[in-house]
Chain A
Amino acid sequence: MKNFNYIQPKSLKEASDILKKKPHEAMLYAGGTDALGLMKQDIIKPEEVVNLKSVPGLNYISYTNGKGLRIGALTELAEIAENPVISEKYPILRHAALAVASPQLRNLGTIAGNLCQRPRCWYYREEFNCLRKGGDMCYAFDGQNKYHCVIGGGPCFIVHPSDLAVVLLALDAKLTVFGDRKTRTVQLKDFFVSPGDDYQHENNLKAGEIITEIQIPELPQDAKSAFVKFRERGVWDFAVVSVGAVIRKEGSKVISGKLAFGGVAPIPWMDESLNAKLPGVALSEEPVAQLVSEILKKAEPLSKNAYKVPLVRNLTKRLLLEL
């Protein structure tokens, strides 16, 4: 790991200014669980590491009846998993937080860091100078792509690694972003960028921009939610695929809902046309089977990941039937 200056800004403005001034040399640092990994592998070599934790007031969970939930960017995943209000009102968020990494990493890793973590593609993490690192080819495309995307890929074929992003997407979350001395609000679904648009960034944060808060709207009383993460080992592994569902139903019929998928695309995946088909679907074997056969209809699996399509469909089916 290359040495760096550790900057301890006292305000968002101070942090943002440094980041903006040195877009290539400075890096924002929260729990560091991802950043440190990248630095140890020399994938990023920042000269200034800007410790967001020195900015006060970014670690909170606050819930207002009727309005919803606000989570400070620096809130650790363990806090989210253990928060009683979240367990009661947004159990799906708790599930996703608990499904991340390991207990020790959840004690340090933050929610914003989770959304902004870099890809896990093994070529990216190893000494391959691939497209995403400024090189001129994607090694995964016809290489070892078992864990890569089946939809939305090209020219880079990562999957987005965040577990929380999947449920936050299904929960219709918004982000508050500070930058340029003001804040903006961005819908999570507009936050992530596809490699087709920009294959070196996973989100549309601009230099100097910092996520300060994640907002989750109040869920209707009758909303049901569920999250499932499929991984090969019982802990630590990233999702091979994951599914988050937030559904309103009447009797056994869906009124409306959202399905979001992880591990299938370079961004946390939501298919509006699929969600449009949800209303009216009866949550029983036949109609659900029919519905899930629509999932990833346009998938173009790579040489080693065709299994992800049936996997996602099976998991979604089970999830919906067990809602």
Chain B
Amino acid sequence: MSKDSKKGGISRRKFLQGVGSGIIGSYVLTPGIAKAAEALKKNSEKLILSVPLTLKVNGKQAHLLVEPRTTLAEVLREKLGLTGTKVACNNGECGGCTVLLDKKAVYSCHILALDAEGKEVTTIEGIMKGENLHPIQQAFIDHDGLQCGFCTPGQVMAAEALLLKNPKPTRQDVLEGMSGNVCRCAAYPNIIESVLAAAEKAGSETAELK
């Protein structure tokens, strides 16, 4: 059985023959766009209003007015000036925008700001005490767990989420826990060392306390 004869299979080649070789006929863009324009107009008639939102970020309440489509990352960066949260892919594919939501790591670019209402948002700015570094941050400096630094706040937040859940991670735990954060500079070996060192340090400090 040839592929063309497959149940309903519409061959591309056949299709192209119909419209002249090598040139695609389906690119008359105007109608599609006109439709979109119409929709948008209709939309503005329907009036989608910005809605009030109360966010708790780094322990502080913020009262805002946002369009429903606004992502948490947009609110953090553009409305609250918390630019420590970086956006690299804006699509849940890299981890640059990682923040904590009720102590769990999420991609702030891939969640609506409205969905963070009633929850505790923690950003990189929120894990420091004044200008004092969090032990994970110090470990990233000591073990050079970064190069360009753009992914670093997200890495630190992912590490924080991991260590909150699992204070004594194995190397494999670290790999899995940090696996939602891409580093294009590929500082991975040092990121792994940084997280392990932070855990170890925290462990030895609690041991001392005991």
A residues whose Cβ falls under 8 Å from a Cβ of B:
1-6, 32-33, 36-37, 39-40, 45, 47, 49, 51, 53, 78, 101-105, 107-108, 129, 131, 135-139, 141-143, 153-155, 195-196, 199, 234-236, 300, 302
Contact = CB atoms under 8 A, between A and B. Distances in A.
B8 A105 contact: no
Contacts of A199: 8
Q: Is the interface of B mostly helix, strand, loop or mixed?
A: mixed
A37 to B, nearest CB: 6
Contact of B68 (A40, A49, A102, A196): A49
Q: Is the interface of A mostly helix, strand, loop or mixed?
A: loop
B56 interface: no
B105 interface: yes
B17 interface: no
Given A105-B92, A236-B93, A3 B67 contact: yes
A104 B40 CA distance: 33
Interface string B81-125: 000000000111101001001001111001110110000000000
Contacts of B9: 138, 141, 153-155
A153 B111 CA distance: 33
Contacts of A139: 12
16 contacts: A2-B39, A3-B67, A6-B112, A78-B104, A103-B161, A104-B105, A105-B180, A108-B111, A136-B15, A141-B10, A142-B11, A155-B9, A196-B7, A199-B8, A234-B179, A300-B1
Interface string B32-61: 100000011001001010010000000000
Name the residue in B39, B114, B179 with the highest tally of chain A Cβ atoms < 10 Å from its Cβ.
B179
Contacts of A153: 6, 9
B63 interface: no
Chain B interface bracket (under 10, 10 to 19, 20 to 34, 35 or more): 35 or more
A154 B95 CA distance: 36
Nearest to B6: A154
B7 A154 contact: yes
B145 interface: no
A45 B36 CA distance: 10
Given A37-B92, A302-B3, A103 B179 contact: yes
Contacts of B26: 129, 135
Contact of B115 (A32, A45, A135, A138): A32
B144 interface: no
A36 B8 CA distance: 31
A1 B40 CA distance: 12
B13 interface: yes
Nearest to A53: B115
B158 interface: yes
A45 B48 CA distance: 14
A32 B10 CA distance: 33
Chain A to chain B: the 6 pairs with minimum beta-carbon distance, closest first: A102-B180, A155-B8, A6-B68, A235-B179, A154-B7, A104-B180
